[in-house]
Chain A
Amino acid sequence: EAGVAQSPRYKIIEKRQSVAFWCNPISGHATLYWYQQILGQGPKLLIQFQNNGVVDDSQLPKDRFSAERLKGVDSTLKIQPAKLEDSAVYLCASSLRVSFNSPLHFGNGTRLTVT
């Protein structure tokens, strides 16, 4: 099966600019996640979607971050305006359903550098 696709692979922007990341999950996977992985740390959940509805966005900095999942398939994560501390790898993951028996499948991420 095809994996989780993410683009772009790398992005360099200046602080206060905006940026968007795109994710295409594994076909048929109802649950989609965005994680932020700062260098040297474990991934941190930003937002979780079930189909096209938000399940958990408690750790999403809503003053600058936004995310949507179009028609329950593709998703975009946007940052506006970016800060230096947003430099990280943004990982998208999907799973078949919300269950411990349904492992997360991660994409290779988008590495964001904010200068």
Chain B
Amino acid sequence: QQQVKQSPQSLIVQKGGISIINCAYENTAFDYFPWYQQFPGKGPALLIAIRPDVSEKKEGRFTISFNKSAKQFSLHIMDSQPGDSATYFCAGEHGTASKLTFGTGTRLQVTL
């Protein structure tokens, strides 16, 4: 299975700070890159997604930056809040197959 490498494994950010999570992929057939947010005891939920023909996508406090040549993308959470404390997964998808390959996850803790 083609990998999606994610870092860091865990992250502690103060309230109001910027959280940054990085991912790198190998499969150049991926054409859709979603981020999922998972709270303890819950299933992952789609947070934001980007296609590789766009270098940046912003939705509220969440921004994806995409570097196609480097095969890397990142999630930025601006003005991080305690309610953002969760595990975040990046993923790659080959659109016609609609099959997600997930990263290993980043556990984010936002402190007061």
Chain A residues proximal to chain B, CB less than 8 Å: 4, 31, 40-45, 48, 55-56, 59, 91, 93, 95, 97-100, 102-109
Contact = CB atoms under 8 A, between A and B. Distances in A.
A31 B98 contact: yes
Contacts of B89: 42-43
B89 to A, nearest CB: 5
Nearest to A93: B43
A100 B93 contact: yes
Contacts of B91: 42
Interface of B: 1, 4, 6, 31-32, 34, 41-46, 49, 51, 89, 91, 93, 95-105
Given A99-B95, A109-B43, A104 B100 contact: yes
A48 B99 contact: yes
B104 A100 contact: no
Contacts of A42: 4, 6, 89, 91, 102-105
A4 B43 contact: yes
A18 B97 CA distance: 31
B105 A103 contact: no
A40 B32 CA distance: 24
A40 B98 contact: no
B104 A41 contact: yes
Contact of B32 (A55, A97, A100): A100
A106 B32 CA distance: 18
A104 B46 contact: yes
Considering the complex of A and B, which 10 residue pairs feature the smallest CB-CB distances, nearest first?
A: A106-B43, A42-B102, A100-B32, A100-B95, A98-B98, A103-B46, A106-B44, A42-B89, A108-B43, A43-B102
